[in-house]
Amino acid sequence: MSFSVNRNDKMNVFIEDLTHDGSGVAKVDGYPLFIPGALPGEEVDIQVGKTLKNYGFARLLNITKASPDRVDPPCHVFWECGGCQMQHLSYEGQLVQKRKTVRDVLDRIGKLPHVPVHPVKGMDNPWRYRNKSQIPFGERDGKVVSGFYRSRTHHIVDTDVCIIQSDEADDLMAMLKHELHALGLDTYDEKTNLGMLRHLIVRKGRATGEIMVVLVTRKKKFTQKDAVIELIKRIVPNVTSIMQNVNAEKTNVIFGDETILLHGKPVIVDSIGDIDFEISARSFYQVNPEQTEVLYGQALDYAQLTGDESVIDAYCGIGTISLFIAQKAKEVYGVEIVPQAIEDAKRNAELNGIDNAYFEAGPAEVIIPKWYANGKRFDVLVVDPPRKGCDEELLKTILEYKPKRVVYVSCNPGTLARDLRILEDGGYRTQEVQPVDMFPHSSHVECVAWLEI
C-alpha cells in the first residue's frame, strides 16, 4: 500500500483542527495526520510516525507560526501526563474549540446544522476544580513514585503537584510518597501482583470542606495501618473520613469489593445548590461541583417546570439531577440500573426532606413501560447517560411513549449527536444545545440539549 505520506517523512504542515483527544490535525493530499501538541491555525514542522490506511500520526518538531492562543502550560509534567490535553491552549481558546467540537459533530453525525449551539459556559477560575483524585502508587529504581498515568499507558508520571486537584490531595500524595519506605509499607506492582498500596483516593466536599481519604490495598491486614492513619491525620488534621478498600485481584480496575472504615465517618457531605449529598468511597459524584451546578441549572431551565409536571430521570445515579428537579416539579421518578446507586438516591432524598422523588432499580427501558402500565403519565424526560450514550432500547421507549419534552445531558458530543438524530427521526425537534466546560484543560465537553415533540 502506498501513500503520498510515508513513515519518517519530514514536512511543514498547516493545522486545521483538533481531535477529540486534543491532537492537532493536518491534511496532506487529503490524508489526515494527528500531531500531539499542535494547535489550529499553526504552521509546524513534523516527522511522520505510524501510518494507517485512513490516517497517520506525526511528531511535532518545530512551530514555524504559532497560534495567538498558544500559552506555556503551567504544569511542569503537562507534556508527559495524560490527565490534561489542552493546557498549551489559552482558556478562552479552549472554550472556542469545545464549542466548535460540538458544532462539528451535530453537523456531521447528527445532520443538525439548524440547531443553535451556544458559547460554552466556562469557569472564572479553571484550576483546583477537581473534588476527587485517584492517585496510583508504584516503585521505580528503588524509589516510590506517585502521580498520574502517561496517556494510553500505565506508566506513572511522578509528581508531587497537580494544579487541577485539591491542595489536600497534593499534600497527601507528596507526604505519603516520601514516608512510605520509612513506615515499611511497599507499593503495588501490576506485573507481579505483589506489594500493598495500590491507589490513594482523595475526595473533598467543595461546600463543606469535608475530606475523605481512601487507601486501596492488596490485602486487608497490614501492620503499618495505625501509623498510616496517624500520618494522614497529621498531613490533613481536619480529615473527616479514612477508608480502606481491598483489591486483591490482578487487574487495572481501581476498587475491590470490600471497603472498611478506619477513622471518622463512612461518608462525607457536599452540596450542589440547595441539595446535600452523602458521598461514600465508591459513590459516583461529579468531580467539578461548581460546574455541575451550572450543568444541572441548565437542565432545569430546559425542563421549563411550573410545579405541575411529572418527570422521569433516566440514568439517575445517586439522584443528583432528580433532587435538583424535585424542587420545581410535582414529582420525579428516577431509574438506574445500579441498585447501590438507587439506595444512595433514596438516602439523599431523605437527607434533604424531599418526598416527591421516587427511585427504582432496573433498566430504564423495562421500568418506564411498567410505570406507564400502572397509569403514570410523564411530561418531561431527563437523560444523563454514560459516554456510550443512550441504550438503543431506551431510545425506542422514549419514541413509543413520547413525553412532550426531553432534556438530554451528555458527556460525549458524538453519541449525543447520534442519539439526537434518532430522536429527530422519531418526531422530536432539537431546540438548542448548551455546552458546559466541566473539565477545563481536558478535551472533554458536556452538553445539555432541549427537545420538543
Integer Cα distance of 414 and 393 in angstroms:
19
CA torsion angle 133 138 141 142 (round to 10): 110
Q: Among residues 75, 84, 316, 411, which one is catalytic? A: 411
- Is 189:139 a contact under the CB 8 Å cutoff? yes
User: Is 411 a known active-site residue?
Assistant: yes
Locate 48 and state its grid cell.
511522520
Q: What residues have CB less than 8 Å from 56, skipping those under 6 apart?
A: 3, 5, 31, 32, 33, 34, 48, 49, 50
Q: Please state, in angstroms and rounded to a whole number, the distance separating the CA atoms of residues 39 and 102.
A: 18
Distance CA 74, CA 84 (A): 11
- Three-state SS across the chain? CCCCCCCCCEEEEECCEECCCCCEEEEECCEEEEECCCCCCCEEEEEEEEECCCCEEEEEEEEEECCCCECCCCCCCCCCECCCCCCCECHHHHHHHHHHHHHHHHHHCCCCCCCCECCCECCCCCCCCCCEEEEEEEEECCEEEEEEEECCCCCEEECCCCCCCCHHHHHHHHHHHHHHHHHCCCECECCCCECCEEEEEEEECCCCCCEEEEEEECCCCCCCHHHHHHHHHHHCCCCCEEEEEECCCCCCCCCCCEEEEEEECCCEEEEECCEEEEECCCCCCCCCHHHHHHHHHHHHHHHCCCCCCEEEEECCCCCHHHHHHHCCCCEEEEEECCHHHHHHHHHHHHHCCCCCEEEEECCHHHHHHHHHHCCCCCCEEEECCCCCCCCHHHHHHHHHHCCCEEEEEECCHHHHHHHHHHHHHCCCEEEEEEEECCCCCCCCCEEEEEEEC
Find cell 415533540 and name the residue. Answer: 453
Catalytic residues: 411
